[in-house]
Amino acid sequence: MTISLTNHQLLIDGNDVEALDGRRFQRHSPAHDEPVGEYPDGAVPEVDRAVDAARRAFEHGPWPRMAGAERARLLRSVADLIKRDAEALALVEVLESGKPISQARAELQAVSELWWYAATLAQHAHGDAYNALGEDYLAVSVREPMGVVAMIIPWNFPLLIASQKLPFALAVGCTAVLKPSELTSGTALMLGSLTREAGIPDGVVNVITGTANLGSHLVDHRGVDMVSFTGSTEVGRAVMKGASQTLKKVSLELGGKNPMVVMADADLEAAADAAVFAIYFNQGECCNSASRLLVEESVAPELEARIVELTKAVTVGDPLDEQTLVGAIAHDDQLDKIIRLVGEGTAAGASLATGGKRLPTRRGRFFEPTVFTGVDTHMNIAQAEIFGPVLSVLRFDGLDEAVEITNSTDFGLSAGIWTRDVSTSNQFARRARAGTVWVNCWMDGFPEVCFGGMNQSGMGRELGRHAIEEYTEAKSIVTHAGERTMWIGSEKT
């Protein structure tokens, strides 16, 4: 595949525009160290322009007033256009994020399915009726769109995460300002163009890019009714603090330190393969990464040996190579963090079973798939979100200890268990403090099934019918049909 520099513009009120001051910035491929995208370097004026456009579209445009069936038709058109341009979108994802091309292509299929499913919700948004309030009263509870939604997207799954938010907000009549990471802005702008091509009215979808802190300006903006943020827990706290000044609704999907529990009765071959996938998928730069592997003591030596063997077989390299399973680390700061935390693990007494070093390549930034054994739950590598291809293996004795270790971090995004015993899996699923629990699988997701975290992994839920609730407000309408009982007194004689 050819690596070339692509120039982009902002999408504001249906128009391709530059930043008012004309500034631009470039994104270099983390795998190839070559420029692959050039973007307007937006600032406060661009935030204002985008929010104003979204506000006009919401207050005066047709989108919130359109029949659900018509919104659904347009969202399905976007899904079809995503399928049409899947290869081009996947290539941009690879060049900007460093993920393998085979993975990016699979993600594009999921992205299209998200838009298609969200379209069904446009026709199924509904409230409740209360007809047992007495013969003179009828009350209905309706759900109305929140208004202007600011969506702040991270760099690890830019198109997928945008599509876990945008079509669901659009389905119920909201308008949006989408702000992708400056590291991976390309597919967000391409997606914006597809919404325009599909016929979604001007101003409903706006996409702004920039290297300044545009996110904080969106969070603070009085024209924004809701903020939907995906990213680190640290930044999530700042989003909550900023939104509190105007009491905006906030939806947060944050970090994770997710445990995969393997019981002694599990299919160890399947569990080992799943564990390797779950930590090295997307270079470990994944909020759902299973970065903690909890293994029952009696089978730990066997499973650890199998994990190390499989890890050594994982192909790391050029993400444009069809055979690559682990691509490039997205940026230098993230690589430095991985190196630092691996060093902390070694210093704390964990055993480095394999990996642990940056790969010596002529260009790009690649890190060896890494396995630590002998990890104690109090070690930082068992508590901190590394966000890289680094697995910590901990041992336990019995389900109670497995649950205790599972719940021993500040996070609660996802967890999983491998066992042939239904009673064991049910007990674990009920006791694990996590928004998603997988049984004999990992990272199997569907548009119909809600997703979100507990504890410091966030608040709110994306996907499924629950997304309707996230992007709407409930309103009660009470109607009195009979004669009024006078407060001061009746004039009747």
Kindly state whether residues 310 and 411 are assigned to the same domain.
yes
Is 59 marked active-site? Answer: no
Q: Residue 361: which of 406, 408, 314, 329 has the closest Cα?
A: 329
Neighbouring residues of 485: CB distance < 8 A, sequence distance ≥ 6: none
Residues 284 and 355 in one domain: yes
Residues 141-166: what's their mean pLDDT? 97
Q: Which residue segment(s) compose the domain that 289 sits in? A: 259-433
Torsion of CA 269, 273, 276, 282, to 10 degrees: -170
Whether the predicted pLDDT of 50 surpasses 70: yes
Q: Is residue 209 part of a domain?
A: yes
- Among 253, 285, 304, 368, the active-site one is 253
- Residue 106's pLDDT is what? 97
For the residues of 81-117, what is the DSSP string, one character each?
HHHHTHHHHHHHHHHHH---HHHHHHHHHHHHHHHHH
Do the domain assignments include residue 443?
no
Whether residue 239 is contained in a domain is answered as: yes
d(CA 432, CA 294): 13
pLDDT of residue 332 exceeding 90: yes
Q: What is the CATH number of the domain that holds 32?
A: 3.40.605.10
Q: Is 450 a catalytic residue?
A: no
Judgement on whether residues 110 and 238 belong to the same structural domain of the protein: yes
Same domain, yes or no: 157 and 285: no
Which SS3 state, helix, strand or coil, does residue 333 take? Answer: helix
CATH number of the domain that residue 364 is part of: 3.40.309.10
Domain tally, the chain:
2
Decide if 455 is inside a domain. no
State whether 99 and 19 are in the same domain. Answer: yes
What element of type H or E holds 238? Answer: helix 233-244
pLDDT for the residue numbered 142: 96
What is the SS3 assignment for 271? helix
pLDDT, average across residues 140-153: 97
Residue 482 belongs to some domain of the structure? no
Residue 4 predicted with pLDDT over 90: no
**Phi–psi pair at 466, nearest 5 degrees:** -65, -25
Are 156 and 291 part of one and the same domain? Answer: no
Could you tell me if 180 and 270 lie in one domain? Answer: no
Would 441 be classed as within a structural domain?
A: no
Residue 18 lies in a domain: yes
Residues 278 and 394 in one domain: yes
Q: What mean pLDDT comes out for the span 174-179?
A: 98
**217 and 349 belong to one structural domain:** no
* Set 174, 286, 287, 368: catalytic member: 287
Same domain, 243 and 344: no
| 155: in domain | yes
Mark whether 180 and 238 lie in a shared domain. Answer: yes
For residues 378 and 13, what is the distance between their CA atoms, to the nearest angstrom?
Answer: 51
Residue 493 pLDDT = 44
Reported pTM: 0.96
The pLDDT tens digits for 416-435 are 999 999 999 999 999 999 99
Same domain, 210 and 337: no
